[in-house]
Amino acid sequence: MTQCHFFIDGKDIPFHPGQTIMDAAMTAGIYIPHLCHNPDYEPTGSCRLCLVKLNGRYVSACTRPAQAGGKVENQSEEINQQRKTLLQMLFVEGNHQCPGCEKSGRCQLQAVAYYVGMLSPYFTHFYPNRQLDASHPEMMLDFNRCILCGLCVRASHDGDKKDIFAISGRGIKSHLVINSPSGKLGDSHFNAHDLAASVCPVGVFLPKHKGYEVPIGQRLYDRQPISQVGDVAGQNKPAGRS
């Protein structure tokens, strides 16, 4: 297969035609912050956190094909500031209480916020009123943390072939819905071992009966920053594992 080259922050990166900037960066071991991207599923470009500059123009790295000779800017103060602002908006749109969250230390939202140096939410909190769904015997859903990345929707559709999750509504009214007669997880065909259960980058999917199995402080991103965790698919281990 033909191999071409482009540059990320001046570093020569090989790629095969058809690979995105994100694919090639991951293969080369270069971290580009992201939330809605998971290499096991088709990218949708919904969170925009992976924004980089390609030849001076903003693009999302997870959807933009790599371009031979292209010059990509990934790490700069300007881009970091844009990512920080996007994260600050995500934090105030939901209800994220990191110190008491079972996903703390394994949450990509929290870990990326540390990575970009986000120290405060900055914007006014929305404090949305979102219900929990504790109807399933093995899994609880805490919608307060949902950032609408759509990964569980893709995993349920493409991987599990079940179509249990969907995003409904528009704009500020967008929310995750469950495809079951009652709209509750316990009334659906969901199984705790479904692929959809392990892709959430935040703490929506919480397995029952095993909370805080790994103490906070000893979890994946407590031990190493997200930029140094190479296997992105492995970042989304089911809660309860480190």
Binding of residue 59 to ligand SF4 (CB under 6 A): no
Q: How far is the CB of 126 from ligand SF4 (least distance, A)?
A: 16
- How far is it, in rounded angstroms, from Cα 207 to Cα 57? 42
Torsion of Cα atoms, 149 then 154 then 159 then 161, to 10°: 140
Q: Which residues pair with 15 in a beta bridge?
A: 4
Binding of residue 53 to ligand FES (CB under 6 A): no
Contacts of ligand SF4 in 166-185 (CB under 6 A) = 176
Contacts of ligand SF4 in 134-153 (CB under 6 A) = 146-152
Please tell me the chain's helix, strand, coil percentages from 3-state DSSP, rounded to the nearest 5: 30, 15, 55
Binding of residue 94 to ligand SF4 (CB under 6 A): no
Instruction: Decide: 106 and 219 in contact? Cβ < 8 Å.
Output: yes
Q: Which of 13, 24, 47, 72 binds ligand FES (CB under 6 A)?
A: 47
Binding of residue 153 to ligand FES (CB under 6 A): no
Count of all residues that appear for the chain in the document: 242
Minimum CB distance to ligand FES smaller for 34 or for 103: 34
Q: How far is the CB of 214 from ligand FES (least distance, A)?
A: 26
Instruction: Decide: 162 and 201 in contact? Cβ < 8 Å.
Output: no
Positions touching ligand FES (CB under 6 A) are: 34-37, 45-50, 60, 62
